[in-house]
Amino acid sequence: GENVEQHPSTLSVQEGDSAVIKCTYSDSASNYFPWYKQELGKRPQLIIDIRSNVGEKKDQRIAVTLNKTAKHFSLHITETQPEDSAVYFCAAAGGSYIPTFGRGTSLIVHP
Amino acid sequence: DAGVIQSPRHEVTEMGQEVTLRCKPISGHDYLFWYRQTMMRGLELLIYFNNNVPIDDSGMPEDRFSAKMPNASFSTLKIQPSEPRDSAVYFCASSSLTDRAGSYNEQFFGPGTRLTVL
């Protein structure tokens, strides 16, 4: 089955800096890569996703890149704000579209 | 739609007791997932259903765990007997292969049930 590795497990940045979270996956058949954000005590919520026919996708301050050859994808957050502090999960899904989640990255943005 | 609904939100029970967690998915969604979240193991998929049929229960930790989906609008996750190591937040999520927004298979999570087994 699919195996998703996510790094780092914890990321601490100053407000205004950029943050990058990286994930690798094992199944070359995976073609859908969502990212979820979970604020403290809340439920995970989708923030952005990318499909394998696209190399990059942006939505305001967040962007995701995908390298299918290397089987890795990344989440980039620019101009970080304290409200970006949360746990971020990457995931990969194949033909069944059932995602396998990474272990999560705890992002802390210091004011 | 009110989103995915879970009950109870918090459950405190004693070891050996039966625990039943409930979930109402978003109307029209044909996939339902049960997850367990802990600090040690992260977000684990326990089981998922498609059109009320269990498809993959390989994540269910042991026979003490069982899940049912008697109809499209209701699912239960039961632990019998419960043990302290079952303490976790249990999320239910639902999805559909396609939706009007085009973000197919986005999983919509419920608020979770925080289970504490003493």
pLDDT digits (tens, 9 = 90+) for B43-70: 999 999 999 999 999 999 889 999 999 9
Instruction: Say yes or no for a CB contact (<8 Å) between B109 and A93.
Output: no
- Mean of pLDDT values over A73-95: 94
- In this prediction, residue A99 carries a pLDDT of 87
How many angstroms separate the CA atoms of B61 and B77, rounded?
12
Residues in B closer than 8 angstroms to A97, CB to CB, are 97, 104-105
Residues 6+ positions from A64 with CB-CB distance below 8 Å: A33, A35, A48, A49, A50, A56, A57, A73, A74, A75, A76
Q: What share of chain A is helix, strand, coil (3-state, %, to 5)?
A: 5, 55, 40
Closest residue, chain A, to B98 (C-alpha): A97
Hunting for tokens 């739609």 — which residue is that?
A: B1
Question: Which of A76 and B1 is assigned the larger pLDDT?
Answer: A76
Structure tokens that stand for B19 in this block: 């625990």
Across the range A82-109, mean pLDDT stands at: 91
Residues 30-89 of A with CB under 8 A from B: 32, 34, 36, 42-46, 49, 89
Dihedral over Cα of A38, B88, B66, B44: its sign: positive
Q: Each residue of A1-54: pLDDT tens digit?
A: 789 999 999 999 999 999 999 999 999 988 889 999 999 999 999 999 998 777
**Beta pairing, strands B113-117 & B88-95:** antiparallel
Of A45, A97, A102, the CB nearest to B97: A97
Residue A94: pLDDT band (50, 70, 90) is confident
CB contact under 8 A, A104 and B97: no
| Triad B21, A106, A15: Cα angle to 5° | 135
B5 in A contact zone (CB under 8 Å): no
Is 70 exceeded by the pLDDT of residue B20? yes
The pLDDT value given to residue B104:
56
Query: What is the distance between the alpha carbons of residues B19 and B3, in angstroms, rounded to a whole number?
Result: 23
